[in-house]
Every structure is written in structure tokens, then in C-alpha cells.
Structure 1
């Protein structure tokens, strides 16, 4: 098998793995957000019931008499307190799917948040002249926490049943045995709201191969088999692993990269315990599981409104620019043909999202006969560049034909630059994260002073974009690109 065939087959395998990982991420996102929406609605209704129950309890004390304020005022207060409660719970991270061994945090929130909501509502009731009595507020301060605690435990029981049946659950392998590994196993086994279900533990110590590891605690209800390492994609695939958690301390960067590469090839996401986290890696927000911080590798998941809006803007923008710039296309092609022999266009295989290969179009800026796959020139004095090519590369006009790639959906107006297959073949696990999004014509790296160096050697720009990308950031990058191009052209 030739080098190009091996690259293609590897990228194809990575594409399949990435597709499976994206499907699981989509299903996980939908499941978690559905649960969060249901829980928010349940909390909202529980608070309303608590306030109205306080109102009707007070009305029972006025036998034969009418309360000095109508039920519509009680309804207004109940809606306001319920809204404040849900907002405070959301702000406190109650709907992020975390959990704990004793569910203490949920109970603490159920007590604290209603008190805060009622205290916030008090000045509003005075300003709006609502005649909701102090007795009702006092009863509500006792009743709402009780109802919320009962509702939270009932909701947790439902989620526990769903997790046992495999709904929205990730099969987890813990890499590393010891006290820390046991703590992770115990925490995940009890924090069912996370949806991380341990199925095995792996360690490089051959003595432990075939043993069973139990969770910490006197009950020891869960135990999982131990397999011998090191981590490989075949091992993760055989265990149907969708999430790998690395807890081994003092791992070298090579060992971490090897574990991450194996997980990526198997279509699994990767979490690291904070103690094993590399300083130079770019991580997303950590998950706190009973004091254990699990930091995931950067995982791309685009919200569908952003994806749809981005594609619409790409399609409209590319179409308009192709029509408006058609005369410029013909003029550039004419000067290229006049300057040197050969086609006006240059077509080259590039690596797109999830490792998929596509044909990228550019105006030819180098002489005919120049090898098609080499590192790009870093100076305008490179002998491979033609006279008109120097001008095209300086003004970035050689990139204009990529508007056709944007129209076809291979590229976007904004995104990481696509690289050649022979470069992607030697990517590290960190650099491979660039392949999680659709490549683009312009991006943060192109606007930086580091654009004179290789793209993958300045990975921080692309990783920052992947973490923070959004519709308005894309617009901002396009605006900066316009001014950047104008400055370079003078």
C-alpha cells in the first residue's frame, strides 16, 4: 500500500469514528437537554404549587371571611418566585447533569434557592403594592423546600431507572487503578445523573489482569473487570467504550497522546483527571464529581441553529461573491496565463472535517511542474512562485476560487485552514482537533502574525476558535479579514 493510500485509509477510518462520536454527542446533548427542560418545568410547577398551597392554607384560617387580597395577586407572586427560583438554580448549575454520592448539593439548593427567591420577591411586592401576606411568605419558605426536595428525589429515581436501562448512558473505561481509580469508579457509579457508566478498568500492571475491582464503601454493589494495558483503539472498541477517563498520575506527554489517539481512533471521547492534565493542552470546562475534577479534551459539538445559520450565510455569501467577482476571476486568469504556461487554476487534495478529503481550488501562483504536495512557500522570494503569483499571494487573491468550495459545502467562509494529507498524517492528538469543524477560507490564524509559519505549529488559534465559535464571532472575523486584506494590499 502506497503512502497516499495509507493516509486515505487512515483518514477514512477516522471519519467513521468521528461520525460515530458526533452521533453519540448529538444523542447525549438531546437527552441531557430534554431532561434539563423537564426538570426546569418540574421545579417551576413545584414552586407555583408551594406558593398557591400557602395561599389556600391561609384562606382556610379565614373561615367565613374573605382574604384581603385576590388569588390573582397570589398567582402573580407564585409565577415570579418560581421564575426567580428556576433562574437561580440554572445559574447555580443545577441542570448540568452533575451528581454526588449523597445528593447533598441538590438538597442544599432546594433549601437555599426558595429563600433567595422569596427575599428577591419581597421588595418587588412592596413596589407593586401586592398584598401578599407575611404569613404566606413564611409558609411558602417552609413548604417550597419540602416539595422541591421530594420532587428532586422522585426525579432522581426516574433518571436512575433510565440510566439502568441504558438511556443516555456512556460506557466508560477508567485507565488507572489505585485509590484514585477506585474513587472515580465509586463516584461515577453513584453519580448516575452524569450518565457515565463504568464497564472496565485498565492498568499497565500485568499482575492485575483478570482481577475485579469493587467500588469503595461498605456496600460494594458495583465491581468491574480489570484488563491489562496499554490503551489501544482495538481494546476500547472491544469494550464498546464511548468514554475513556485517564486517572494514572505522572503520565508523560507521549503516553497521554497515545491514549488520546487510541480513543479518537475508536470514536471515544477522553477525560483526564486534573492531576494528569498537561499544562500545554487546551481543555474545556471541568466536571466536578465529588471533588474529582474531570477535564475533557476539546470536543466539538455545534448547536443546530448556529450550523444552519452558518451554512445559509456561506451559501448566500459565496453565491453573491462568485457573481460579483466573475470579471475579476477572468482578469486574474488572463494574467496568470500571460505570465507563465499552465492552467490558471490549481487543484489539490486537502483534509476537511473529520478527515474527509476534498478538492480545493486556488489560482495558480507557482510555475508549472512544481511538485503538487510540498510545504507551502514562507517567503515571497521562493523561486517556485511566479511574478503574478507574488502579487496574488500578497493580496490573498489566489484564495478566491475557494468560494466554489464554500458553495459546494466542503469549506466555510470562516474556519481553520485545511492542510494537505501528508501533514495531517503526522498530527498529534491535539492538532487533530482542528478536524472537528468545517475548514474555512479565513480564520484567526490567518489574521495573526504567526501566519508566516506552519498552521499546525500555531494550534492555539484554531482551538480558541473551536471553543468559542459562534455566529457573531464569524461575522467579526470576516470584518477583520476585510480590513486586514485592505491593509496588505497597500
Structure 2
């Protein structure tokens, strides 16, 4: 009874395919009533032809677009997007078909638009209902898949933890193969411990295991080869989840390189097409900001010149994208002085800071000229704050992930700054905390995240008590 859905997966897939066709047929008929106010059979014949052609095409195309595989453990939104894109592709092919038979001029584009929208709504609704019904069954111990985890390092333990906590995903870890040093770290004492790789095939067969998750570290090539040989006759699903949690990198996206799968370990999310979007947003935002802030710039410039002799702007070399050096612009907040071999960070009651400079630092107005750097392409509106070159030299050897923050453009404001991590970093712990937040931003970047940080900065400013 517990394995009914799993053992009848092919019949269930056929049922879902037929259900999709029924749903799309109904959606087309409803779209006809909304648009034409008459049954679709009373409209030009091309609409009925397209209705049946599109549904038949969906029956054939949807399986090729991975719409009927198991969706447990995967994002529901990904399913919805895939459904919408697949249905759009089918309708485009249907429109092209009407062109080939010289009836495209008789097709109502508005009817097709209604059909698409209603079709997506119907597909999403019933798929979501099925998705949550299956989740409910899994929480009751039904429709679960029995799993063996091979390798119990940081990734293996994390996979086991998630399988235990996310019971709706329906994965029941039955056994673990762990190295001797990891054997005592098994999260669930009821889980069997397989001492050697040779024990795995017999255990899988005897206990009707459905999946094997291999989470061995990247350096375990000999064990992977041995395991491949041992599992050659094992007819279950095998997933390889490389143990890379211990490798502090920016990403683990799998792509195609020279025709072979490759894993990008330090390619930021904000690269490629995302990078173009972020670049356009930065340049437009910086241009608008500089135009609007021009009167304020003039007032601040006059105040700086009156407070002490010297230039309005302060320039200092910083590391930018991929370690390229550029000069960062700020309003000058200190009396003119010279530092040859090191940069001394501002401290509380620092005598070098001018009266207007203290106000500019406290309100972060001294950072506004960096919109010029954004316009030049050296910086981004949001990103890790650029540090002095001497600090980079100091911390790159003290913090192993420190230099990863330079894989993206530095920013005027950032995730660390709105969480209070700004100003003086006089201890390694303070810098480590800032780097942690910077890497979280890089690994989880989105345009919406940038907008949230900008809004937070605009209305609440940077927080923190250690900014002098």
C-alpha cells in the first residue's frame, strides 16, 4: 500500500497526460465562450482544428519537457514556469501550423490569448492540488522513497537533515555508509550503518531501496570508481551530490563546457544575462541620482571648503571587479594629511576628522560621490564595500574566503552595511562577520534584493555604532 504510487508511476503519468488534454480542451472551449459568446464549434473551423491540434501536440510535447517527472524536493514555482513556457511553445507551434495551411488570417489572436491564460490557470490549479495532496500523503508516511546515503561528510549530513525535517518531500533515509570518523555523527540512531561499500548492493536489494544518494567528497575518485562497479547491476535511481559544502565558493551551477558537464564554483549569480540587467540598472540609477543630488553636492562642497583647506573630493585606490584597481570617490571628511605605508582607520573622536566631516560620516553622505564610480562602471549601487588596499593584503591571508568578495563589483551600500556591519574593523571577527554577509549577498543576489537594500538604505540609512 505504501509503494502504490511509486509502483504505478507509469499509469499515473498516463493519467496526468490525459488530464492535461482534458483541461486544455475545456480551457479552449471556455476561452471561446468568453471571446465569441458562442460555442467554439460555431466559429470559423480553424479554431476547432487548432483546439484539437494543440491538445494532441501537448500530449506529445509535454513529456519531452520533463513535466511528468517526480517533483518531490523541487521548487513548485519552477513547475509553474515550466508549465507556462511549455504551453506557450505548443500554442506557437499551433499558430505556425495555421500559417502553413493558409488559415492564419482567420485565427482570433485574442481567443488564443484567452486560451493560453485560462489553460495556464487550469494546469497550475490542478497540478498544485495534486502536489499538495502528495505532500500530505508523504507526511503520513505514504508514498515515501527509501534512501541510502553514501558518504557522510558535511553534504551527506545536510542531505540527511533536510530529508528528516522536510517530511513532505517523502524521502526516508534507511542506511548510511560513513567513513570511520563520521560514523558517530549519524543524525538518526535508527538508521543502519553500512561499514563497507561492498555491503551496499545487497542492502539495497534486501530492503527495496528506491534511491542512492552519493555525497562523497570531490577527492574520493577511487571510491567513486569502486562504487560504480558495485552498483552496475543495481536498478535504482542514483543521485550524485558532490560534497562541496566544505568548499567555500560562490556557486555550484552545472553547465555545458566543450560538450561536457562542468561545475562553476566561483561564478557569481550576478553574471551573464543577470549581469547585464544589473549593469543597466546601476547606470540608470546612478544617472538619476547624480542629477537629483546635484544641489546637495554643491551645498556639501561649499561646507567642506569652508571647514578646512583642501580638495572637495577624496580619492583612494581600491580593488574592484576581479581585483582591478580603481580610485574611489568620497567627500573629504578629514584634514589633509599624508599616510605613506599604511591606512589608519578613523576612530572615535579622531582629531583628523573635520566638523562637517563628522556629520557627513555619521549620515553616510560622504559616500554619495561614489555614484560617479557607478557611472564609470567601477562600482555598483549595491555590493560589498571596497576596502583599502592595505586591508586587503592583511585580511586575504587571515580569512580564507576574503578575496571572493572581489568577484563582483563593490557597492555604495550592501547587505552587510544595512545589518550594522560598517565602519571600523579593528578585529578579525568584525571583518569575518562583514565578509560572511557579503558572501551571502553574492550567493543569493537578485534584482529585487538590490532594490530592498536600496530602499532600506534610503529610508533608514546605514546602521551601526562603530562608524566614526
Please classify the TM superposition score into its range, dividing by the shorter chain length: 0.3 to 0.5
TM-score normalised to structure 2 length:
0.47
TM-score normalised to structure 1 length:
0.45
